[in-house]
Structure 1
Amino acid sequence: MINDDYAFLAPSNEPSSRLLGLHAHVLDRLGLTLCSGGLPAGTIVRTDELEQRYDVSRSVIREALRVLASMGMISSRRRVGVKVLPQSEWNLYDPQLIRWRLASPGRIAQLRSLTELRTAVEPEAARLAAIRAPLTGASELMGLAGKLWAAGQEGDHERFLQLDIEFHRLVLTNSGNEMFGKLHTLVSEVLAGRTHYGLMPTHPHVDALQFHVDVASAIQRGNPEDAQSAMLRIMQRTFQEMSSIWEGGDGESE
């Protein structure tokens, strides 16, 4: 069953919209099945088997398989069938694939790997932003940090999530490194995933709120060392909040 948050949009009455919605629906179901281990690596299935399983036409299955193949999740060969590839072949940076992994039983392991990636990248992005960010970008970060503080204190989870995503996006883009900037979609997914699955504190700790202010202030002052240190503290705080979950389970979550 697809998690409601990642299900396809309800199609309109237009035939083309219904078909698009059906494609997305089948793609979500297949993607989540693969990420959940329902079809382990090395499994070979035929297109007609998938047509029967999902009760859809061959064209719908073929479109879904085309997308999965572009993500490196499957390969298709005539007279052989559809082969599920190992995760080492998957495009693990694809936002849609990340959403499926977060909706699967292995979501905690996915959150951990994404957080480790953030820890490696975001402190350096903050350091570079303190050197390269234009004045308008630095000022916007300071404004966001203040709004984050207010939303956190008020317990407005939806508002806090939106602001937090935007804050980290700005740090990455203001780094002046286009590769870092493209990682903002991954950060968005991990922040949204933590919030959706109840893995965020009810009220953000005051230290976490202060660290965001410290990052913005250091970038505005043009102090790269302080910006890097403050962002690293944010990441360390995140690990601290998640460590009891990681250490208490096997990487799976209900």
Structure 2
Amino acid sequence: MTKPETRIQAKEEAAPPAPVLHASHSDTLGQEVVDGVLPAGAVLTLESIQERFAVSRTVAREVVHSLESLNMVISKRRVGMVVLPQRHWNLFDPNVIRWRLRGPQRELQVRSLVELRMAVEPMAAASAARRASPEARLRLVALAQSLEPLLLAGDDQGFLEADIEFHSLLLESSGNEMFGALTTAVAAILAGRMDLGMVPDEPVIAALSTHVALAEAIMRDQPARAEAAMSDLLVELRTSLLEDGPSSVS
């Protein structure tokens, strides 16, 4: 006969983890905050979340904690969870970036991220040319060389993964921990562009060649060339995304 303690333990082990239960509801409310459906000053309560999504109080609390961790709401005693203005949000969080890209703030989010990258990544490239490990230099070259074959083969997912790894490794290899902390933001914009179809009908081969030139400059310890190559990539990106339309440049 199974002991009561054993049955309770089995039940707990079989229960889905809280993130699985609350993630989609957090996503819905986060998107509504970004879209202005829930404007700054709007009040949420555990009861309203429970009723709307037909979830337990525990799951409703996890939803609230998720939004609180992004500084999108704040709990006020005897009031509930109050939606905060955008200036308080964790704008570098991948979820916030994704919500902004999917909503009316899309153009502003793209512009902000492109300008951030233009301010940071050329310097990061120069620093990587000075400080990257031998293994990182070889990996950057291999990733850069893989982009064109992946794109021409129509392997969008493989291309995206290689592109994200390339830019993340470059930031991390700069030796600047502040630059390295931006990898999630850069990965979010790269993934968001793919998800939203912000890519061209025809690949921009010249931009992919610039990736190779950039990686080779880092490989050869040439900071000025690496910085210039990254600047060229991002100028084309700014032009194509904000002025001419979608581009595959990243």
Same topology, TM > 0.5: yes
- 1:37/1:245 CA distance change after superposition, 3 Å: farther
Equivalent residues in 2 for 1:58-73, closer than 5 Å: 58-73=57-72
- Displacement after TM superposition at 1:203 (Å): 3.3
Equivalent in the alignment of 1:142: 141
Equivalent in the alignment of 2:155: 156
Equivalent in the alignment of 2:191: 192
Task: Say whether the 8 Å CA contact 1:152–1:209 is kept in structure 2.
Answer: no
> What is the CA RMSD across the aligned residues, in angstroms?
1.9
Give the Cα–Cα distance (whole angstroms) in 1 for the partners of residues 174 and 127 of structure 2. Answer: 5
Task: Say whether the 8 Å CA contact 1:155–1:203 is kept in structure 2.
Answer: no
- Displacement after TM superposition at 1:245 (Å): 6.7
- 1:19-48 CA distance string (max 9 Å, x none): 542211211111111111110011123332
Which residue identity lines up with residue 23 of structure 1 in the other structure?
A: H
- 1:151-197 CA distance string (max 9 Å, x none): 23333222211111111111111111122112111111100101111
Deviating runs (4+, > 3 A) in structure 1?
none
Task: Say whether the 8 Å CA contact 2:18–2:62 is kept in structure 1.
Answer: no
Say which SS state the counterpart of residue 75 (structure 1) adopts.
Answer: strand
- Displacement after TM superposition at 1:136 (Å): 1.9
- Displacement after TM superposition at 1:116 (Å): 1.2
Q: What's the TM-score once normalised by structure 2's chain length?
A: 0.87
Which residue identity lines up with residue 169 of structure 1 in the other structure?
A: S
Equivalent in the alignment of 1:6: none
Which residue identity lines up with residue 227 of structure 1 in the other structure?
A: A
Give the Cα–Cα distance (whole angstroms) in 2 for the partners of residues 103 and 88 of structure 1. Answer: 19
Say which SS state the counterpart of residue 17 (structure 1) adopts.
Answer: coil
Equivalent in the alignment of 2:4: none
Give the Cα–Cα distance (whole angstroms) in 2 for the partners of residues 236 and 71 of structure 1. Answer: 31
Say which SS state the counterpart of residue 117 (structure 2) adopts.
Answer: helix
Equivalent in the alignment of 1:48: 47
Say which SS state the counterpart of residue 63 (structure 1) adopts.
Answer: helix
- 1:245/1:28 CA distance change after superposition, 3 Å: farther
Say which SS state the counterpart of residue 198 (structure 1) adopts.
Answer: coil
> Percent identity between the aligned chains?
45
Give the Cα–Cα distance (whole angstroms) in 1 for the partners of residues 141 and 18 of structure 2. Answer: 45
Q: Which has the larger radius of gyration?
A: 2
Q: What's the TM-score once normalised by structure 1's chain length?
A: 0.86
